[in-house]
């Protein structure tokens, strides 16, 4: 009776196997290789099967089992080799203990970098590019992918990029406070006062001023006092009248309560 897996239960992913990955990548290169290259890579396929079988069964590997695997592989890849050629490849594989290096296998297959990228091969090298050069190219591609991913996220959040922010806030790049010989905070504070006195409300400084300063709030040097505007003067007079009325009412109420206390005491 077959057990039906639960629909919400995910199947456990198999662990990564380097020999299996190497074998699948060799299979991807077979349709574009000639007969001599395929024959030269047969010992590598035999070594790969020996490593896979030894790792799976944790013991010795029989020659007949490797022979059967090689024949099945040739049938699946639609390649015709005689039993003698397959046996010779297995004998060559028995003399080796490890898989071939990536650069050596690339020389056997004659694999170039452009074809390597087109076939998505990672465990086999390239004949026209060294490992260091491939590492540099891989890092360049990763930086480009990260840049594209960051641009997509920025577009979703609707936030400007670094170059756009610097174009709008060029002071962060030119640093005029260094030329003036003052700190950055002092420079922005003085700029905010200047913009507030001009009535711009601190625009262009990268942050919004908490309120627009009134003409009476701006610092005025001594000896050059200016009269208040009519609207502001009227508002100040009205506020002063209200404050005076409140103080008078409070004082009258205090005297009345004092008289009542004295009359009760008498």
Between CA 249 and CA 197 the distance in angstroms is 39
The reported pTM is 0.54
- pLDDT tens column, 4-50: 655 666 677 778 889 999 999 999 999 999 989 999 999 999 999 88
8 A C-beta contact, residue 111 and residue 127: yes
8 A C-beta contact, residue 73 and residue 46: no
Between CA 213 and CA 9 the distance in angstroms is 64
Residues with Cβ within 8 Å of 229's Cβ and at least 6 positions away in sequence, in order, are 215
What pLDDT sits at residue 95? 85
Instruction: Please check the confidence at residue 64 and state whether its pLDDT lies above 90.
Output: no
Between CA 253 and CA 239 the distance in angstroms is 21
DSSP string, 12-80: PPPPP-HHHHHHHHHHHHGGGS-HHHHHHHHHHHHHHHHHHHHHHHSS---HHHHHHHHHHHHHHTT--
Between CA 52 and CA 60 the distance in angstroms is 11
Instruction: Please check the confidence at residue 67 and state whether its pLDDT lies above 90.
Output: no
pLDDT averaged over the chain? 78
- pLDDT tens column, 113-147: 999 999 999 999 999 999 999 999 999 999 999 99
pLDDT-based confidence at residue 242 (cuts at 50, 70, 90) = confident
Residue ranges with strand state E in the chain: none
Distances (CA, A) of 124 to 7, 68, 151, 214: 38, 26, 33, 74
The token pair at 263 is 């009359």
pLDDT-based confidence at residue 159 (cuts at 50, 70, 90) = confident
């Amino acid at each position: 009776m077959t057990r039906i897996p639960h629909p919400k239960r995910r199947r456990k992913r198999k662990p990564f196997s380097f020999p299996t990955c190497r074998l699948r990548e060799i299979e991807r290169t077979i349709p574009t290789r000639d007969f001599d290259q395929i024959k030269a890579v047969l010992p590598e396929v035999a070594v790969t099967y020996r490593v896979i079988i030894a790792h799976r069964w944790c013991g010795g590997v029989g020659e007949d089992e490797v022979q059967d695997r090689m024949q099945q592989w040739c049938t699946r890849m639609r390649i015709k080799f005689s039993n003698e050629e397959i046996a010779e490849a297995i004998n060559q594989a028995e003399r080796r203990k490890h898989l071939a290096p990536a650069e050596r296998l690339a020389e056997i297959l004659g694999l170039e970098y452009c074809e390597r990228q087109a076939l998505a091969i990672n465990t086999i090298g390239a004949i026209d590019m060294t490992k260091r050069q491939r590492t540099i190219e891989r890092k360049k591609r990763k930086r480009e992918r990260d840049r594209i991913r960051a641009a997509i996220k920025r577009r979703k959040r609707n936030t400007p990029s670094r170059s756009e922010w610097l174009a709008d806030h060029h002071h962060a790049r030119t640093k005029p406070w260094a030329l003036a010989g003052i700190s950055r905070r002092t420079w922005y504070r003085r700029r905010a006062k200047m913009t507030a006195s001009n009535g711009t409300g601190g625009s262009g400084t990268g942050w919004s001023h908490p309120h627009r300063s009134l003409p009476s709030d701006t610092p005025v040097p001594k000896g050059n006092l200016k009269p208040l505007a009519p609207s502001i003067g009227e508002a100040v007079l009205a506020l002063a009248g209200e404050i005076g009325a409140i103080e008078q009412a409070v004082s009258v109420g205090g005297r009345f309560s004092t008289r009542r206390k004295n009359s009760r005491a008498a």
